[in-house]
Amino acid sequence: MSSLNYHHLRYFRAIANEGSLTRAAERLKLSQSALSTQLRSLEDSLGQPLFHRQNKTLVLTEAGRIALDYAQSIFRSGEELLDVLRNRDSGRRQVLRVGAVATLSRNFQLTLLRPLIGRSDVELIIRSGNLRNLLAQLRAHTLDAVLSNLPVHRDAETNWHSHLLDEQPVSLIGLRTRTQKKFSFPEDLRTTPLVLPSLDSNIRVAFDLVLEQLGIRPIIAAEVDDMAMLRLLAREGAGLALVPPVVVRGELDTGLLVERHRVAGIRESFYAITPSRRFPNPALAEILRKENSSKEL
C-alpha cells in the first residue's frame, strides 16, 4: 500500500493555486521538470489524474478538487495545533459549495439548507448567479450543486442529474388594505398593475400563456429576475406579485401581504442539479436524502 508524501501535497497545492507548473516552480524555487516529477508521483500514489490542460492553464479534475480540499485541511492542521496549544477552540469542517439562481426563493433555499446551518462540522458556501455561469462552476468542480427552478438536460458533454426537490403553487400576492374588495380573476387583471418575474422564469411563461388564452393584456408595473427584489416590490405595493407563496411566507404570516388569487395549473418546481461524480459530497448527499424522505412521507 502506497503512503502519502506530504511534500507532494505541498507541491500539488502550489500548482493548483498558481494554475501553472512554471509559476509554481518559480515560487517553490524548483525546476519545472522536478516539480512535474513530484506531481506525477502524487497522481500515481492516488491513482487519479489531478489536472487536465485547458489552453495553457492547468485545471483541476474532480479528483483534483477533492485532493485540494483535503490538502488545505491537512495544512490547516498545523494552524489548528497552534490554536489548541494556545487554548483556542478549532475544529475541522466539511465544505459544501452551493450555487443558487437569482430567481430562486431565498425561503426555499433556507428551508433546504437548514439541517446544515449552525453545524460545527460543516461550512456552507452559497453563491448566486445566472444558471449558465453556475453550471460552468459546477463543471469546473468549484460547486457541488446548483439550485434552480428549471431542470437541466443531459448532453454528450455533461451528465447532469436534475433532482426534483419540491413543487409549489403560484399566486398573485399584494398588500393588505382596509378597503380591500374580493379579487375577481381574470377580469381585474385588466386594471391591476402586476409585478412579474422575467421571461427566463417558467412561471412567467406559463402565466403569459394563460393571459393570452384569456385575451388579457396585463399592466406590468415591474419585471424582475430576482425573487428577493420581487418580494420587496410586493411589500412596497408596486402591484400584485406573481410568486410562489413560499417566497413571501413571513409577510403572509404577519398579514402584511395577502394571497389575492391562486393561479390554477401553474406550479414552481425546485431542482438540485448535480453532475455524475465518483466522489459525491457527503453533506450534499445528506440533505438530498432528507428531502427525498420528506417527500415520501
CB 243 within 8 A of CB 234: yes
Task: Check pLDDT > 90 for residue 270.
Answer: yes
In terms of C-beta distances under 8 Å and separation of at least 24 residues, what long-range contacts does 113-121 make, across chains too?
113/287, 115/286, 115/287, 115/290, 116/283, 116/286, 116/287, 120/91, 120/93, 121/91, 121/92, 121/93, 121/94
CB 211 within 8 A of CB 218: yes
The whole-number pLDDT of residue 283 equals: 86
The CA distance from 286 to 107, in Å, is 20
Tens of pLDDT, residues 256-265 = 999 999 999 9
CB 196 within 8 A of CB 221: no
The CA distance from 236 to 247, in Å, is 15
Tens of pLDDT, residues 55-79 = 878 899 999 988 998 888 788 776 6
**Domains in the chain, ordered, with CATH?**
6-85 (1.10.10.10), 94-166+271-296 (3.40.190.10), 168-268 (3.40.190.290)
In the chain, the amino acid numbered 117 is: I
Signed CA dihedral, 201, 207, 208, 209: sign only: positive
Tens of pLDDT, residues 5-41 = 888 999 999 999 888 899 999 999 999 999 999 999 9
Q: Is 117 helix (H, G, I), strand (E, B) or coil?
A: coil
